[in-house]
Amino acid sequence: MNQSTLVLEESKNMNHTEPSIRDIVSEATSVIGPVWPLESGIACNPLLGWEHKNFWKALKEAKELFATQSQGDVNFHLIKWLQAFLDEGQALFAMPDRHLGFYRCWRLLSRYDRCLIKSEKQRKQLTSFPQDPEEALKSGLHLLGIDKKDWVPYLSSQIVQLPGWAGYVKYKSQWQSSPSPYSIDLLEFLAVRIAIVALLDEPMSGKKGLEELWTREKIEKEESFYQTKLIQSLSKKGSVTFFL
């Protein structure tokens, strides 16, 4: 085999190199845009990352993707840990070991989370997760039985469960001018999320019927109900006067 043939074979092998887990995460999370903090006053384009597609096609695909079934328990636990990790001084007690990064910190501390870890089986499963977030994400996907060819769409369906939080993490890791002292990115976000999915045994996200979707009308109705109850509660205390 001459030198030119060897070069050609090496080129073919390079072209068939499988994407890394970071490449897969990057593609899967392209469906959400960064979300700036409220004090910045910067508006966010919900279709950022879809610009290469026809507008109406992008709108249709986004609508279908964001209609994936809500994993309420998973969302609850992930939000709880995100709130603690991303705290900027409002909490009475700061989350320890944040210097380890989001995934490693969660893996270390979540063993004490009695709402999440309720059985010895879950405890053993938690300790079996690799310490490296990249390896942990791959391990979690294999544990859930997700085919590698489906990793991108599956992770996309998971990231849109919490587009606001995920968008904020994207801002923190890719757009923030001054880097955070505590490491968090979308790979770590997904490593923790997939680990929680595995611990709670909620592997797949199906489609909800239209009657189950959190439509704008339903959200506004729930928000109005909450505001009314809040105003009634505060008014009874006699400390606040409302002009409606």
The structure tokens listed for 221 are 């109705």
Output phi, psi for 146, to 5 deg: -85, 120
Output phi, psi for 68, to 5 deg: -65, 150
pTM value is 0.73
Q: Given this model, what pLDDT does residue 215 score?
A: 53
pLDDT single digits (tens) 72-81: 899 999 999 9
Output phi, psi for 172, to 5 deg: -60, -40
Cβ–Cβ under 8 Å, residues 102 and 181: no
Higher pLDDT among residues 13 and 24, named by residue: 24
Mean pLDDT of the chain: 81
Q: Given this model, what pLDDT does residue 40 score?
A: 66
pLDDT single digits (tens) 58-105: 778 777 887 777 788 999 999 999 999 998 878 778 899 999 999 999
Output phi, psi for 159, to 5 deg: -70, -30
Chain mean position to CA 155: 9
Q: Given this model, what pLDDT does residue 70 score?
A: 78
